[in-house]
Amino acid sequence: MDLSVVILAAGQGSRMRSQLPKVLHKLANKPLLRHVIDVAEQLSAQEIHIVYGHGGEVVRERLAAHNVSWVKQEQQLGTGHAVAQAVPHLTANHTVLVLYGDVPLITKETLQQLIKQVSGSSMGLLTAELANPSGYGRIVRNSDNAVQCITEEKDASAEVRKITEVNSGILAVQGEQLKGWLTRLKNNNAQGEYYLTDIIAMAVSDGIEVKTSQAVAVEEVEGINNRIQLARLERYYQQQQAERLMAAGVTLKDPARFDLRGTVETGMDVTIDINVILNGEVVIGNSVEIGANCVLTNVVVEDGTVILPNSIIEDAVVGRECTIGPFARIRPDTKLADRVKIGNFVEIKKAQVDEGAKINHLSYVGDSIVGKDVNIGAGVITCNYDGASKHLTEIGDDAFIGSDSQLVAPVKIGAGATIGAGSTITGDAPANQLTLTRSKQRSIDSWVRPQKNK
C-alpha cells in the first residue's frame, strides 16, 4: 500500500528556552524537522504533511525547499487533534505513518518494519522497553499479551504506571480507519486533550489487531525537549557516524572527538586526528591524513594528501599528494592541482593553483591563476581588490615570486619570471626576466643614532 506521512511539529518547545521553534534547532547542523522529512523521503512517501503551530511560519519558511504540505494547527489541543488537522488533506487511502518533528533519529529500517504491520485487519505501533518509563504512555496488554489500549501517565493507576513498555508515539495505520477513529476522540482525560493514543482502544474494539515493534536502538524514539537532550542525541548520532566510518576502514584517533555535520565519502586508509569537523558534502580519497583541529566544508581531497593541524578548507578541491597547513585557510572556489604545497598562515581564495606550486608561508593569494611549479615566497600578497572590484592575478609556470612582494591586480607574471623580493608589481612582468621595484640600498656612514637623555 502507498504511504502518507504526517509529522507533528506544532509544539512550542518552551523548555528549549529559545526564540527559535524547537524543530528548527539543529542536530549535526541540520534542523530536527529536516531529519524527519529526510527519513520520510527515504521511505518514498507519496505525501508528507507537516502539522505546524503558532509561531511556526518561520518553520515553513526555513524548510520551504521541501516538497511537503503544511497544515496549521491553530491551538494545540492534543496529538489526536493535531493528526486530525492533516486528515482532510490526505488525498488517498494510503497507509498513514505518524512521526514527530522533535524525534529526529528514527531510521528507515525501523519504520519499514513498522509499516509492514499494517493490513486491512492490523495496525503498527512502535513501543520501547524503558527501565524508567515515567512520563510516557504505557502499553496495556491483556492476559494473551494482546495490546488493549495506551494509558497516559497522568491518567494511569499505580498498577499501570509499573508497566515498562511505553508508547513511542510513532504508529502506522490504514488511512480510512484512522479518519473514522479520529472523529470519535474525546478530551475527557486528565489533560483535557484529544489523545492520538485513544485510537488504540478503538482499533481493538473494531477488531483491528495492534502489532508492536521496537526500534533498532532506543535513541531512535527519543524526543528532544531541552538542550541537554539535544546534546545527548547529538553525541549518540556522532558516535554512530564515527563507528560507521571506522567500520569502513577509516582510522579515527578518537571517535569521541570527531564530528560529521553532513555527508562524507572516504577511500581506504584515511586517518583523521582529533577534533576534526566535516561539514556539508566531503569526499576524501585513499591514504589522506587530516591533522587535529581541521574544519572541512564541502571539500574534495584526493589520494595521498596530508592536511596538517588547524587548517580550515571550504568549497575547494585539493588534488593528490598535496600538503596543506598547519594553520592554512583555503576559501571558496579554490582548486589545487596535484602535489601543491600550502604552508602556514597562508590564505587562498578563488584561485587555481597548478601542479607542484608552493606557497609556503604567510601569503594571501586571491582571484588568481598560479602556474605549474611556481614558488611564492613568504609574505607575498595579491592585491586583488581596489575598493570596488576584484581583479585577476595570473602567474605563469615556473615563476618565482620573491618574499614580501605585492602583485597589484590585474597583473600578469610571465612564465619563468623572477620577481625580486620586496617589489610592488603594478604592471605585467615579462617571462624569464628578473623584475623588481626595489629602491637602491645605501648606507650613511656619518649617521649617529639618537641617544636617550640620562
How many residues make contact with Ca ion (CB under 5 A)?
1
Smaller CB separation from Ca ion, 18 or 275? 18
State the binding string over 202-241 for ligand UD1 (x if CB under 6 A, else -): ---------------------x------------------
Residue 169 contact partner, candidates Ca ion, ligand UD1, none, CB within 5 to 8 A by sort of partner: ligand UD1
Applying CB under 6 A, which part among 29-37, 95-103, 200-208, 405-413 lies near ligand UD1? 95-103
CA 149/CA 203 separation, integer angstroms:
9
The candidate with the shortest Cα–Cα distance to 321, out of 361, 371, 295, 285, is 285
Q: Strands 289-290, 306-307: parallel, antiparallel or unpaired by DSSP?
A: parallel
Closest alpha carbon to 77 in 177, 153, 187, 166: 187
Q: Are 365 and 349 in contact (CB under 8 A)?
A: yes
Bridge-based pairing state of the strands 334-336 and 323-324: unpaired
Please tell me whether residue 31 binds ligand UD1 under the rule CB under 6 A: no
Q: Does the footprint of ligand UD1 cover residue 302 (CB under 6 A)?
A: no
Distance CA 233, CA 290 (A): 26
Type and span of the H or E element at 290:
strand 289-290
Number of neighbours of residue 387 by Cβ within 10 angstroms: 4
What is the pattern of x (binds ligand UD1, CB under 6 A) and - over residues 39-58?
------------x-------
Q: Does 73 bind ligand UD1 (CB under 6 A)?
A: yes
Interface with ligand UD1, residue 82, by CB under 6 A: yes
Applying CB under 6 A, which of residues 29, 76, 287, 437 lies at the interface with ligand UD1? 76
Piece in contact with ligand UD1 (CB under 6 A), picked from 180-188, 193-201, 381-389, 408-416: 193-201
Other CB atoms within 10 A of residue 84 CB: 23
Task: Tell me whether residue 139 or residue 348 sits nearer to ligand UD1 (CB atom).
Answer: 139
25 is catalytic: no
List 25, 54, 81, 361, catalytic entry: 361
Pairing mode, strands 26-27 and 30-31 = antiparallel
Q: If DSSP codes are grouped into helix, strand and coil, which group holds residue 233?
A: helix
Binding mask 173-212 for Ca ion (x = CB under 5 A): ----------------------------------------
Single-letter code of the amino acid located at 388: A
Query: 163 to 182, contacts with ligand UD1 by CB under 6 A?
Result: 166-169
Using a 10 angstrom Cβ sphere, with 0-12 exposed, 13-18 middle and 19 or more buried, the burial of residue 114 is buried
Q: Which stretch binds ligand UD1 (CB under 6 A): 24-32, 70-78, 89-97, 212-220?
A: 70-78
Kindly indicate which of the ranges 5-13, 265-273, 340-348, 437-445 contains the residues binding ligand UD1, using the contact rule CB under 6 A. Answer: 5-13
- Three-state DSSP at 138 gives strand
Choose between 59 and 399: whose C-beta lies nearer to ligand UD1.
59
CB of 10 vs ligand UD1, minimal distance in Å: 3
Q: Which is nearer to Ca ion, 223 or 410 (CB)?
A: 223
* Cβ 76 vs Cβ 53: under 8 Å: yes
Q: Smaller CB distance to Ca ion: residue 95 or 167?
A: 167
Tell me: does residue 364 bind ligand UD1 (CB under 6 A): no
Does position 127 interact with ligand UD1 (CB under 6 A)? The reply is no
CB 148 within 8 A of CB 204: yes
Q: Quick one: what does residue 78 bind among ligand UD1, Ca ion, none, with the CB cut-off 5 to 8 Å set by partner type?
A: ligand UD1
Does 78 help bind ligand UD1 (rule: CB under 6 A)?
yes
Pairwise CA distance, residues 259 & 266, whole Å: 15
Q: Is 102 in the site for ligand UD1 (CB under 6 A)?
A: yes
Give the three-class secondary structure for 37: helix
CB closer to ligand UD1 out of 114 and 150: 150
List of E strands, 152-227: 165-174, 209-214
Specify whether the CB–CB gap between 335 and 301 falls below 8 A. Answer: no
Angstrom distances, CA of residue 230 to CA of 39, 55, 224, 245, 277 = 19, 21, 6, 23, 18
> Helices 108-115 and 32-42 sit at what angle, rounded to 10 degrees?
50
Confirm or reject binding of residue 77 to ligand UD1 (CB under 6 A).
yes
Q: Contact at 8 Å (CB) between 105 and 233?
A: yes
| Minimum CB–partner distance for residue 150 and ligand UD1 (Å) | 6
Name the DSSP class of 374.
Answer: -
Q: Which of 195, 237, 258, 364 binds ligand UD1 (CB under 6 A)?
A: 195
Contact call for residue 136 and ligand UD1 (CB under 6 A): yes
- Binding positions for Ca ion, rule: CB under 5 A: 223
Footprint on this chain of ligand UD1 (rule: CB under 6 A): 8-11, 51, 73, 76-79, 81-82, 100-102, 136-137, 150, 152, 166-169, 195-197, 223
Catalytic residue numbers read 361
